[in-house]
A and B are shown apart, each in its own frame.
Chain A
Amino acid sequence: MQKYFTRMGDGSGVYLDAEAIGQDLKEGTADAARRGKIPELAKDELDYLFEVVTSPVNIASVERGSEVVTSSDSGAFKINYQADISMDRATAVQVHEKVLAADSLDLGNIDYSYKVVKAILNDEAKVMENVQLNTIMPVLYGAMPNLGLYTRPDGPVDNWSELLPLGKIDEARKAQEEAIELAVKDMYYISGGMFKAGADGMNFDTCGASGDADVIAALRAIEKVKKDYPGLGVEMGMSGEFIIGMHGRLEYGGTRVAGLYPHDQVKLAEKAGVNIFGPVVNTNSNMTFPWNLARAVTFIKACVEAANIPVHANVGMGVGATPMSPVPPSDAVSRAAKALVEIGKADGL
């Protein structure tokens, strides 16, 4: 029986026959549909994904004219800090623009959290000013709400990760509510500074990393920023496919935030004034690439259908069917991108 080369979710190679690939595609879409209460992919869509997975080419791509645009997270430090090349961030932005053909980029501090940037805003603003003088593409400022940093011993409020195991639910909720207020203030302050520095927009990235309170903080900050700086574009990127209820009772516009999947998350983002939404679908490194691909495309398709704003699917390592590896294999990366654009109908990555 013919076997096809494909990948596991960690990027390692594996040979599977047609039956196994078809079965994994079916199970992947079924898993997304069951968790998100969204439709499974249709048979013709699964057949197309089968063709994408089993195509013998190294790099798969979309048809001419179906290309999309790209935004980013990581604060322009993929080349310098991550790839370990001696280069400042302002230069790295120009490399992304003129060498890697990026459509936009975000500038950010290596300690990628708004709370950390508060103390160095003046210096970060000067880098943004230089970048804006020398680049043509849109450049945003990016960081995470990262509510956990507001807890003791690093921050001023009680630590809910310590309180919850002790059964102190009310105290844990109160601490999160206090942290939200502090984080909103910081995110608004930094957005104002970056507006004056000429940023094209703000990237509120990895929202939800500390649970539902983290998302609420971002949404409230975005609401304030869009009210006072309407010319500042806003991208909101998520940390995971599902918002964890560390608080459990927080609502935004009458909707409980805990437990939402991408197609519901985007509606809250729209309400807050977000211009570009970045949903995440987690890659399961123990499952195959076909399983992860069908699952990611199912979630993204539902999110795009629900959205009135552009959706940029997250496709970094370990999300959006991209294998969980610091050097993701190009065959899998390109197939994930193609499928998310062609079947998921993503407006960008």
Chain B
Amino acid sequence: MGSGDPFGNEATQEVAVGMGGIRSAGDLVLRMQLSRGMKIGQAKEYVAGKLGVKPPELGDCSVMREIRQDLDIGYPMPDPGAAKGIAAKIRIADLLGITINSVEQFKKRSGLS
């Protein structure tokens, strides 16, 4: 994305072509692109395989909300007691089988590793 008012650019682009971030599985797919350089199709296949869904369902917020709640990996409008922030990312790293830098730094600082 880029500059321009957030409604005209960011909101419009997400509505038109975006996966929807933590509303669905956009953050997980992006993680595979950033950590492994996967193209979009490959990254979707990978995440879908880990979640046990079909790739088109990754962008469906009704499907993904239930999955994210069950796995407790963070979601918008969270219930009390749900994993947030770094707690959710610890679970995501484990789920996707990747190293998340902030999780590693957190473990070091908290004496968990």
Residues of A with Cβ closer than 8 Å to B? 59-62, 64-74, 78-79, 82-83, 96-104, 132-138, 140, 195-201, 231-233, 235, 275-276, 307-310, 314-317, 319-320, 322, 325-330, 333-334, 337-338, 341, 347-349
- In the complex, how many angstroms separate the beta carbon of B46 from the nearest chain A beta carbon? 13
- In the complex, how many angstroms separate the beta carbon of A289 from the nearest chain B beta carbon? 14
B16:A61 contact, CB within 8 angstroms:
yes
Pairs across A and B, CB under 8 Å, 21 listed? A68-B19, A70-B1, A70-B26, A71-B1, A100-B14, A102-B26, A132-B102, A195-B101, A309-B39, A315-B2, A315-B13, A316-B1, A317-B2, A319-B2, A328-B5, A328-B12, A334-B13, A337-B12, A338-B17, A341-B17, A349-B13
| 5 closest cross-chain pairs (CB), A and B | A316-B2, A65-B56, A198-B102, A233-B34, A103-B26
Q: Which residues of A contact B92 (CB under 8 A)?
A: 136
Report which of A59, A103, A330 forms a contact with B21, defined as CB distance below 8 A: A103
| A108 CA to B77 CA, complexed, in Å | 27
- In the complex, how many angstroms separate the beta carbon of A274 from the nearest chain B beta carbon? 8
Contacts A78-B10, A198-B105, A348-B33; A103 near B19 (Cβ below 8 A): yes
Contacts A65-B56, A69-B19, A137-B21; A100 near B4 (Cβ below 8 A): no
Contacts A61-B16, A68-B17, A197-B105; A347 near B2 (Cβ below 8 A): no
Annotate B24-47 by CB proximity to A: 1 below 8 A, 0 otherwise.
001101110111111110010000
- Judged by a CB distance under 8 angstroms, whether B113 is at the interface is no
| A219 CA to B46 CA, complexed, in Å | 29
**Those of B87-110 within 8 Å (CB) of chain A:** 88-89, 92, 99-102, 104-106
| A72 CA to B16 CA, complexed, in Å | 16
B12:A333 contact, CB within 8 angstroms:
yes
Q: Which residues of B contact A65 (CB under 8 A)?
A: 55-56, 59
With CB as the reference atom, state the residue of chain B lying closest to A342. B17
- Judged by a CB distance under 8 angstroms, whether B112 is at the interface is no
Q: Which residues of B contact A310 (CB under 8 A)?
A: 33, 37-40, 43
With CB as the reference atom, state the residue of chain A lying closest to B38. A310
- In the complex, how many angstroms separate the beta carbon of B90 from the nearest chain A beta carbon? 11
Chain A facing B: main interface SS = loop
Contacts A69-B40, A134-B84; A102 near B5 (Cβ below 8 A): no
A59:B33 contact, CB within 8 angstroms:
no
Q: Which residues of B contact A59 (CB under 8 A)?
A: 12, 15-16
A200:B13 contact, CB within 8 angstroms:
no
With CB as the reference atom, state the residue of chain B lying closest to A61. B16
Q: Which residues of B contact A132 (CB under 8 A)?
A: 85-86, 102, 105-106
Report which of B17, B22, B55, B59 forms a contact with A349, defined as CB distance below 8 A: B17
Q: Which residues of A contact B34 (CB under 8 A)?
A: 104, 138, 140, 200-201, 233, 235, 275-276
Contacts A198-B106, A333-B13; A138 near B27 (Cβ below 8 A): yes
Contacts A138-B27, A315-B2, A319-B2; A333 near B18 (Cβ below 8 A): no
Report which of B16, B35, B55 forms a contact with A233, defined as CB distance below 8 A: B35
| A160 CA to B6 CA, complexed, in Å | 36
Taking A78-B5, A349-B18 as known contacts, 19 extra A-B pairs with beta carbons closer than 8 A to each other, sorted by chain A number, are A62-B16, A67-B17, A78-B6, A102-B10, A133-B85, A134-B84, A138-B27, A138-B31, A198-B101, A231-B35, A310-B33, A315-B13, A317-B3, A328-B9, A328-B12, A334-B12, A337-B13, A347-B43, A348-B33
- In the complex, how many angstroms separate the beta carbon of A86 from the nearest chain B beta carbon? 15
| A316 CA to B2 CA, complexed, in Å | 4
Q: Which residues of A contact B8 (CB under 8 A)?
A: 327-330, 333
Q: Which residues of B contact A233 (CB under 8 A)?
A: 34-35
